[in-house]
Amino acid sequence: MQSEPRRLTAIVCADVAGYSRLVGLDEMVTLRAMKAIYVKQVEPAVARHGGRVVKITGDGVLLEFASAVDAVHAAVDLQTGVAQSGARVAPDRRVELRIGINVGEVVVLGDNDIFGESVNVAARLQELAEPGAICVAERVHDELQGKSDLSFQDMGDQRLKNINRPIRVWQWYPDGAGRIIADPPALPDKPSIAVLPFDSMSGDDVQQAFVDGITEDIITELSRFRSLFVIARNSAFTYKGRSVDVRQVARELGVRYVLEGSARRAGERVRVTAQLIEASSGAHLWAERYDRVVEDIFDVQDAITRSIVAAVTPEVEGAELALTRRARPADLKAHEIALQAWADAWDSYTRPDRVRRDRAIARAEEALRIDPHCMRALLTLALAHWQHANLRTSPSPQASVQAAIEAATRATQLDRLNHQAFVFRGLGLMMAQRFDEAMMDLRHGCDLNPSDPGALIARGWGEVVMGNTDVGGRLLQDAMRVSPRDPQMYNAYTSLCAAGFIDRNYAKGVEWGVIGKRQHPDYPPLRHYLALNYVGLGQLERAAAEIDALRRVAPEWLAERLAGFSALVRPEHRERSLEFLRRAADA
């Protein structure tokens, strides 16, 4: 079978920076500007340097040339012409190109279209380029030596998306000097993020104030998470109204992640879009759209802010963990080891795994040997030991409770504003039956960061078992609203199932328990409270089935409850709980 023809060529990929934002501001003006650029800049530059237009790709164009020198000179002519034509346009409406150039073998298909890894590399280089600049692969840069006096800045080896080897990249800027600051800030030890001012797509001052308010609130709420390094509002707002490249922003501010978005109001509806970007690769980690009906504009602003923050924080944490897992073990620092321990602790909770929980503790202790003040390691110890106590998976649950409280107390002493330290100590104290102290910590932790679904759920649970089911129910519903797809939400369902039992609203308790069981069928507290609600409804067969499941997945846990232990606080709730549990066990 005859193979497709191949040839060695210089590939140029160009696209419009911030195309979606420009179209949102004024679609027709943007399309006319792009057409003018193609007719007045692209076609003449390609003709002058003996190239050809392979295809137009939406907001971009794919070109090829016989040599790297011709490709680069054409690209420089193109960028210079576009910059001159846009000089009189307002900065936020200006069309700017990003260009990537590579040299390599391509496969020729159909009407002389070209494909292959060399084309993919050129496309990734284009994504890496700043607006108005050109990124070239090292092979292109080498071809220019002695044939051009253009000045390029060495960007070092870059990992390009879906390219399995690092590529040495050089970048050309119109002014020849480059826009990367001389000494960009080093990345901090913890995950770092900048929130760029969201774009207002409506254009009037009232809506601009609403959009600025969302940006400011997101910065404030993210700053409550002490595990994140968040760029302050004043620095972030220096980029307002500018067409920026997130990679450049990240270098200038010294962050790994950038959150950007936009908002539009039409009548009584508001639409907000947001996306989280890993700056070094340009990869989109997360994106979401929020549609709300406006009743009270501040309530809408608050609801959208909390939803975005609840989604972004775990995405950043997951991305950091992925980076850590790709590193060589010998290169890991205390924070990175602790991050792995943290992931192990949560994984062991969502799918009961005693071995993974023990590994989380061992890794956290290793991190503390390197850095005795490693906050993430202390929080991991508190979480993992509490899980051992809660699920009765350690040789001594009492010792595990004490270890959890001690680790969380050390964390509160290191950072009095870390909400998780107080939440985890509160959970440990609750397990130790020191209820009043526990509630002080749970309420304080939630006050420190009411945007964390975990803090809302923990306090909601505490309020429920104290008998304050109205307060607890509202907190749990808040957690479900701000993070509806949270993999830990079965904890909220368990708490609401317990609230149904306490309030003697057994049908509602069963409803929540069934929902929770779909997410985590083997979570012992959920099965327990579901069984109690079934007894309350007189459905002893179903209650017995839940108890049989507990005998399989958590026999020690069940035995302790049958012996009289209860997480509930009020005597009447504890007595009814034990009575119903024994009826279910005997059925």
How far apart are alpha carbons 34 and 39 in whole angstroms?
9
Are 30 and 23 a contacting pair, CB within 8 Å?
A: yes
Q: Where are the alpha helices (DSSP H) in 375-448?
A: 375-391, 397-414, 419-431, 435-448
Asked if residue 418 lies in contact with residue 444, where contact means CB atoms within 8 angstroms, the answer is no
* Tens digits of residue pLDDT in 543-573: 999 999 999 988 988 999 999 999 999 999 9
- Taken in order of first residue, the domains within the chain and their CATH numbers are 6-172 (3.30.70.1230), 192-325 (3.40.50.10610), 496-587 (1.25.40.10)
Lowest-confidence region among 72-76, 238-242, 420-424, 486-490: 238-242
Predicted TM-score (pTM) of the model is: 0.64
pLDDT, the chain, mean: 87
- In this predicted structure, the answer to whether residue 179 has a pLDDT above a threshold of 50 is no
pLDDT tens, position by position, 490-542: 999 999 999 999 999 999 999 999 999 998 898 999 999 999 999 999 999 99
Taking CB atoms within 8 Å and a gap of at least 24, the contacts of 116-120 are: 116/6, 117/163, 118/9, 118/11, 119/11, 119/13, 119/62, 120/162, 120/163
Q: Which residues of 175-193 are buried (b: 16+ CB within 10 A; e: fewer)?
A: eeebbbeeeeeeeeebbbb
| Residue 552 DSSP label | H
Q: Which of 37-51, 96-110, 324-338 has the lowest mean pLDDT?
A: 324-338
